[in-house]
Amino acid sequence: MESQVLKVTNFSAHFSGNQVVNNVSMKVAHNKVTALMGPSGCGKTTLLRCINRMHELIPEAGVSGSILLHNKDIYRMNPILVRKKIGMVFQKPNPFPTMSIYDNVIAGYKLNGISLKRDEKNRIVEDSLKKSALWNEVKDRLYKKGSFLSGGQQQRLCIARALAMNPDILLMDEPTSALDPKATSHIEELLTELKNNITILLVTHNIAQAARVSDFTAFMYLGNMVEFGLTEKLFTVPEDKRTEEYLSGKFG
């Protein structure tokens, strides 16, 4: 396994007495795409929310085990710092509707009370929009609202917003499930580009997408980590019968 950015060990999560993630261990490799797949309700999104320290915002939620980011326990860090280092892109594009494209990109700095000089803001905005393959489409209308963009463009704007904080890892929760096939293929191409500079953990229920874009794949079922390894190996010679059945469409 190459150098890792994130290490999850014997990690469990629950809310209101329901165990949702059960004793999961996995490693997320540096500058690779790791896909987390499995049927709806298997704990993928909850695990992602725990890595971003969002799970604890739910009343009666709790966790056990450890998640290390560059060997530091994220549950011993300030949650605001965790969310700066661990970017998140959600299922539905959610640009701030009243903000311009420009202000959307640097929203993280404003929300965290970090003031930047004008030229620094300009540099971050341009750099983040270029990384998210949106710059050429919006550079002449940066001060228009982000809400007039198409769904796929809005999702790339959300990716730019996450990248602007210069995170160590980007979490993506089914980022294409609300998009049409063309916009989906745009985002998939973008993931392949992005991994040259950033580590990505992608939750997807789309088996073909996991096969296309990821280097490593984890298969979760009923809160458990059934199998984890190189995507090519997991898809061609899965070790667990449940993985094989899920990949062949017997359930899910």
Structural domain boundaries in the chain:
4-247
Tell me if 234 sits within 8 A of 217, measured CB to CB.
yes
Tokens matching residue 39:
């049927």
Distance between CA atoms of 96 and 149, rounded to whole angstroms? 12
Tell me if 205 sits within 8 A of 174, measured CB to CB.
yes
70-123 confidence digits (pLDDT tens):
999 999 999 989 988 999 999 999 999 999 999 999 999 988 888 999 999 999
Q: CATH assignment of 4-247? A: 3.40.50.300
| b/e 150-182 (16+ beta carbons within 10 angstroms → b) | eebbbbbbbbbbbbbbebebbbbbbbbebbeee
Distance between CA atoms of 5 and 44, rounded to whole angstroms? 19
7-33 confidence digits (pLDDT tens):
999 999 998 888 999 999 999 999 999
